[in-house]
Structure 1
Amino acid sequence: IELEILKELLSPKKNTFKSRFLVRFGEKIQSVPIEEISFFFSEERVTFLQTQAGKKYVLDSTLEQTEAQVNPAEYFRINRKYLCRMEAIDGIFAFSNSRLKVTLKNSTDSDILISREKVSDFKQWLDQ
Structure 2
Amino acid sequence: MKVLIVEDEILIAEQLQRMLKDIAPQTEVLDVLHSVKTARRWFMQNPEPDLLFMDIQLSDGISFDLFNYFDIKCPIIFATAYDEYAIKAFKVNGIDYLLKPIDEEDLIRALEKYKALKKNAQMPTELLQTLVNHPAQKGKLYKEKLIVQHRNASIPISISDIAAFYLDQVIYVVTHDGQKYIAEQNTLDEVEDILSPIEFFRTGRRQIINQQAIESYKGDAAGKLYLKLKTNHLPEVEISREKAPVFKRWIDR
TM-score range, shorter chain: 0.7 to 0.9
Decide which of 170, 181, 187 is 1:46's aligned counterpart. 170
Provide Cα deviations, 1:73-112, integer angstroms capped at 9, x if missing partner: 00000111210111111220112311111122223413x2
TM-score normalised by the chain length of structure 2: 0.44
Change (3 A) 1:27 1:46: closer
Decide which of 104, 109, 118 is 2:235's aligned counterpart. 109
Provide Cα deviations, 1:9-63, integer angstroms capped at 9, x if missing partner: x8945322111100121132210001111111111x2101111110010012111
Q: Secondary structure at the match of 1:21?
A: strand
Decide which of 103, 121, 126 is 2:246's aligned counterpart. 121
2:211 aligns to what?
A: 86
Letter in 2 for 1:71: S
Q: In 1, distance between residues paired with 2:234 and 2:213?
A: 13
Letter in 1 for 2:178: G
2:109 aligns to what?
A: none
Instruction: Give, in angstroms, the shift of residue 115 of structure 1.
Output: 0.8
Paired positions, count: 117
**Comparing 45-54 with 22-31, which one deviates more in the overlay?**
22-31
Decide which of 76, 87, 100 is 2:225's aligned counterpart. 100
Letter in 1 for 2:195: V
Decide which of 40, 52, 77 is 2:202's aligned counterpart. 77
1:66 aligns to what?
A: 191
Structure 2 unaligned blocks of 5 or more: 1-129
Q: Which has the higher strand share?
A: 1
| Contact 2:172-2:182 at 8 Å conserved across structures | yes
- The RMSD of aligned alpha carbons is 1.8
Structure 1 unaligned blocks of 5 or more: 1-9
1:7 aligns to what?
A: none
Instruction: Give, in angstroms, the shift of residue 121 of structure 1.
Output: 1.0
Letter in 2 for 1:76: F
Greater Rg over alpha carbons, structure: 2
Identical columns (%): 28
Letter in 1 for 2:148: V
Q: In 2, distance between residues paired with 1:76 and 1:103?
A: 14
Map of 1:5-44 to 2, 5 A cutoff?
Answer: 12-13=135-136, 14-43=139-168
